[in-house]
Every structure is written in C-alpha cells, then in structure tokens.
C-alpha cells in the first residue's frame, strides 16, 4: 500500500528534520572539537568519560555507536596525546577501562558547552507528555530501522500509518 499523498509531505518533512538534526550535531561537534585541537569523536569520548567516569572499551563503543576497532583507534591516539589512560580491571583481567588523565580532565572542564547540550536544552522545553510521546515514537522508529539494517525486513514499508504494536 502506497503512502497517502497527504502523508508524503509529512514523511518528507520528518526525514528532512532527522537529517538536519544529525548534520547539525556533527557540525557543532566538529567545530567545537577543532577549537580544542580534537576530532569530533575525541570530544565525544572526553565528555562521556567526564560525565560517566571510567568506561570499558566495549561500553564506550556502545555509547558512541561505533565498532570496538574504531574506538580502539580513537583511544590509541588520545592515549598518545596524554588525554586518557587504560587501566585493567582488578576483578576481571580481560576488561580494560578507559579513564581520563589529569590533562584530559582539565580539557574536559574547559569545554563548557557540549554540542549535545543544545539538543538536551531544546528537549527540556517540551512538556513531559511530549517527551514521552517523542521517545515512544523514536524508539519505534529506531527498532524499524534496525530491523531493516539487520535484514529482518525484506523491503521498506509503504504504509506509514501502521497499527500500534
């Protein structure tokens, strides 16, 4: 079933908004990172470690939605620059935690506005009911996209008005 003509413009507007938000977040992160001599992913790692504390490589990879091998490269460069250090877990020798160094902590404190804070601030202007609805819809959308990416869906649906699960 095709998308009804009156819904097509809504779908297009939503897609454009998602692309805009993604592009803008990358632009803001890259611009701010450059001010501090960092890459966008390095800035993200520094702010995550500042906010959450020590993280294992796999946990950090999950948080920034990147492969372990990609994050290993990022951490290798940050370690060479003295921004982070690796510390093996005392309870499980297989686990290595990534921790901000003193230099990394000082840098993190100097970065006052993380680009994602702009989005957090915008979201706090929504009502609790709107936030809950937005989260519900985005979670549903994320699951559908993931099912396409993982090959569970053969083709994209053509009806945007499907029933709630």
Sign of CA dihedral 76, 80, 81, 84: positive
In this prediction, residue 116 has a pLDDT band, given cuts at 50, 70 and 90, of confident
Alpha helix ranges (H) inside the chain: 5-35, 40-52, 57-64, 68-80, 102-110, 115-124, 128-149
Q: Which residues pair with 87 in a beta bridge?
A: 97
* Residue 10 contacts residue 47 (beta carbons within 8 Å): no
* From 83-92, 93-102, 107-116, 152-161, the region with the lowest mean pLDDT: 152-161
CATH number at residue 44: 1.10.10.10
Domain range for 61? 5-111
Indicate whether 48 and 10 sit together in one domain.
Answer: yes
pLDDT in tens, 54-87: 999 999 999 988 899 999 999 999 999 999 999 9
**What single DSSP character describes residue 1?**
-
Report if residue 63 sits inside a domain: yes
Indicate whether 78 and 154 sit together in one domain.
Answer: no
Report if residue 82 sits inside a domain: yes
Number of domains into which the chain is organized: 2
Indicate whether 65 and 90 sit together in one domain.
Answer: yes
Indicate whether 102 and 133 sit together in one domain.
Answer: no
In this prediction, residue 153 has a pLDDT band, given cuts at 50, 70 and 90, of low
Mean pLDDT of 11-22: 92
Indicate whether 163 and 99 sit together in one domain.
Answer: no
Indicate whether 95 and 132 sit together in one domain.
Answer: no
Return the number of other C-beta atoms located less than 10 Å from residue 8's C-beta.
Answer: 12
Question: Locate tokens 């690796």: which residue?
Answer: 86
Domain end point (choices 71, 88, 111): 111
């Amino acid at each position: 079933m095709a998308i009804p003509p009156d819904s097509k413009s809504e779908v297009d507007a939503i897609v454009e908004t998602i692309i805009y938000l993604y592009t803008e977040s990358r632009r803001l992160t890259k611009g701010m990172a450059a001010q501090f001599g960092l890459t966008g992913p390095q800035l993200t790692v520094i702010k995550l470690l500042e906010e959450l504390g020590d993280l294992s490589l796999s946990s950090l990879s999950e948080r920034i939605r990147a492969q372990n091998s990609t994050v290993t490269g990022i951490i290798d460069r940050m370690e060479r620059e003295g921004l982070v250090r690796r510390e093996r877990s005392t309870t499980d020798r297989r686990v290595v935690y990534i921790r901000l160094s003193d230099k990394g902590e000082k840098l993190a404190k100097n970065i006052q506005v993380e680009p994602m804070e702009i989005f957090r601030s915008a979201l706090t202007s929504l009502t609790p009911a709107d936030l809950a609805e937005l989260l519900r819809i985005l979670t549903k959308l994320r699951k559908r996209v993931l099912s396409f990416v993982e090959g569970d869906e053969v083709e994209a649906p053509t009806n945007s008005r499907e029933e709630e699960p």
